[in-house]
Amino acid sequence: MVKKKKKSFRSAGFFIVLALCLCGSIYLNWYFGDSEESGKTLGESILVDGSNVEEDPNEQYFINARIDRKAAYDTAVSELNSIINGNADSKSKASATEELTRLALSNNQQVKIEQLVVAKGYKDCIAFVDKNNTTVIVDCETLSSADANAIKDIVIRTTEQSASDVRILTVSPETNGNSTAI
């Protein structure tokens, strides 16, 4: 009988400690979490339907350009893989494998150029790397010659192409998504 009372006392003590911790956490939340200070009320929500969102035409331009580039890349990869896995001769398979490798390298270079240009402080950019040339489209109103040279330097270091093979274009709100060559 003594053991039963001891077990009952332990479980009652556990629940008392648990209740004290719960009360303490509620008090600390109330004390440190002053909701009026943040200007928000608990449970308050705002419904959003997207009708007040201003659409940036440049942002849409870059989204569409990336979608188009990805679709072209996927189509090319699919066709090359069908040649590699199909009944083509060994010369065609080797050529398709080489082209697939070049496409993957080009894709990696495009991503690297875009990341480095955006890291320079531009809002957005898209790069198109081909065998013989590279075009970089930057989201900005104007581009100084120093900035253009910095972007060219990024492209030259990434692709090992010459400066004459690099073309930089800008897209600004004034051009409504049309590009201006630099």
- Where exactly are the structural domains of the chain? 57-181
pLDDT at 55: 60
Token readout for 21 is 């911790």
More confident position, 28 or 118: 118
Residues in the chain: 182
Q: How far apart are CA 4 and CA 115, in angstroms?
A: 69
Closest CA to 158 of 116, 118, 120, 100: 116
Rounded-to-integer distance, Cα 81 and Cα 93, Å: 9
Please indicate, yes or no, whether the overall pTM of this predicted structure exceeds 0.85: no
CB atoms within 10 A of CB 93: 16
Report pLDDT for 116.
94
pLDDT, tens digit (0-9, with 9 covering 90-100), for 85-126: 988 888 988 999 999 999 999 999 999 999 999 999 989 999
CATH match for 57-181 among 2.40.160.10, 3.40.50.720, 1.10.287.4300, 3.30.1490.20: 1.10.287.4300
Integer Cα distance of 135 and 161 in angstroms: 12
